[in-house]
Amino acid sequence: MKTKHNLRRTLLTLLALAPLAATLPAHAQKAPDTVRIGYQKSSTLITVLKTRATLEQKLAPLGVKVTWHEFASGLPLLEALNVGAVDVSADVADTVPIFAQAAGAQLTFIAQEAPSPTAQAIVVKEDSPIKSIADLRGKRIGFAKAAGAHYLLIAALEKNGLSLKDVTQAYLAPADGRAAFERNAIDAWVIWDPFLAAVQRQSKVRVLADGTDLASYQRYYLASTPFAKARPDVVKVIVNSLQETGKWVKQSPQDAAALLAPVWGLDTATVEQANARRSYLVRSVVPGSIGEQQKIADAFLDAGLLPKKVDATNVPLF
């Protein structure tokens, strides 16, 4: 009788807990044991970590594996983050999260690189008749949509009394932009490092303007909010590793260039030039450090590129 009573009590307990179990989020039942990292070719610190297998080593004690997923630019990378195809995003330009926010993406800002305004620029051929930003009126300009280069162009035009409506826009990923620039299919190219350093060293170009006094160019690392909540331990390891790697790249520029050159298909001098313009100072994201995000969001809204107004500073921070 006692055994039947205990069995009955156990069954009643399980039945009472069943509805609660059904409402628990998936990550509470089983935390992810793989972190899927999305990155771009220009994701310097993540590329170093990937090449050295640093994260695989540091996350092994947590029982977590790493997979890597390359994207041509930041916008498709964050789209993948939004739909759950990747868990963590390598650095993207400050402009990119704004488009993701406008789409209702659940993203958490986990780290930020301090400003690197000279690491992106508007360039023309050395013999181009274009001598100033004002001369871009009516010209065809290539750049990646939603990239930091996109905002740099908006800011540069605005400062000179122009807008995107005064130029012909060509949305081009970096490789396509370089090809179009070389064959004179575009009159100017807005691009960031290391692509900027490469075209400066390999072609005869002039810089019309970089981000100085126009766009501070802070790059952000993000995670899907569900993953950040499920595995804060993993996110912390990634952020700490990024901070350590950023210091190493700046303190050992030749060694960093030697490591990155074959991965990027560039010579070491070009890589050193590109890295010299990036701060690689990875820091926590605090409310006061993302004020420029709202200015960028409003500029894209005014240009008719966002479907709605975005509160760019109202975001989850790690």
Burial 116-140 (b: 16+ CB within 10 A, else e): bbbbbbbbbbeebebeebebbeebe
226 and 148 co-located in one domain: no
Are the beta carbons of 174 and 73 closer than 8 angstroms? yes
The strand pairing partners of 290, in sequence order, are none
Same domain? 174 vs 127? yes
Kindly state whether residues 168 and 232 are assigned to the same domain.
no
Dist CA 137 CA 130 (whole Å): 10
- Both 152 and 287 in one domain: the answer is no
* Cβ–Cβ under 8 Å, residues 121 and 209: yes
Is the pLDDT at 30 greater than 80, yes or no?
no
Neighbours of 65 (CB within 10 A): 14
Question: How many angstroms separate the CA atoms of 206 and 131, rounded?
Answer: 9
Three-state secondary-structure class, residue 219: strand
Residue 12 inside a domain? The answer is no
Q: How many Cβ atoms from other residues are within 10 Å of residue 79's Cβ?
A: 18
Query: Quick one: 184 and 229 in the same domain?
Result: no
Computed on alpha carbons and rounded to an integer, the radius of gyration of the chain in Å comes to: 23
pTM of the model: 0.84
How many Å apart are CA 24 and CA 300, to the nearest integer?
A: 39
Residues 98 and 232 in one domain: yes
The CATH number of residue 206's host domain is 3.40.190.10
Please indicate, yes or no, if residue 18 is contained in any of the structural domains: no
Residues 97 and 239 in one domain: yes
In a domain, 5, yes or no: no
Percentage of the chain exceeding pLDDT 90: 79
Please give the tally of structural domains in the chain. 2
Residue 135 lies in a domain: yes
d(CA 46, CA 266): 17
* Domain boundary pick from 210, 241, 260: 210
123 pLDDT higher than 50: yes
For residue 117, name the pLDDT band (cuts at 50, 70, 90). Answer: very high
Section 15-19 average pLDDT: 40
Do 147 and 227 belong together in one domain?
no
Please report whether residue 314 resides in a domain: no
Residue 21 pLDDT > 50, yes or no? Answer: no
Looking at the fold, whether 104 and 246 belong to one and the same domain comes out as yes
Q: Rounded distance, CA 101 to CA 41, Å?
A: 23
The H helix count followed by the E strand count for the chain is: 14, 11
Q: What is the mean pLDDT of residues 65-93?
A: 93
Return d(Cα 224, Cα 202) in angstroms, integer.
38
Same domain, 87 and 163: no
> Sorting pLDDT into bands at 50, 70 and 90, what band is 27?
very low
Instruction: Tell me how far apart the alpha carbons of residues 150 and 308 are, in angstroms, rounded to a whole number.
Output: 18
Same structural domain, 141 and 168: yes
- 36 and 101 in a single domain? The answer is yes
Q: Nearest Cα to 75, choosing from 202, 222, 213, 218?
A: 222
195 within a domain of the structure (yes/no): yes
The Cα 233–Cα 174 span in angstroms is: 34
Task: Please tell me the least confidently modeled range out of 61-70, 138-147, 206-215, 286-295.
Answer: 286-295
Strand partners, 67: 36
| Domain membership flag for residue 46 | yes
Q: Which of 165, 188, 210 is the last residue of a domain?
A: 210
Structure tokens at 64: 């977590």
Q: Which of the four pLDDT bands, split at 50, 70 and 90, describes residue 29?
A: low
Here the tokens at position 128 are 């181009």
Q: Which one of 210, 243, 267 terminates a domain?
A: 210
Residue 132: domain span: 117-210
Does the residue 310 lie in any domain? no
Of 109, 37, 97, nearest to 70 (Cα)?
A: 37
Task: Label residue 213 left, alpha or beta by phi (over 0 means left) and psi (-120 to 50 means alpha).
Answer: left
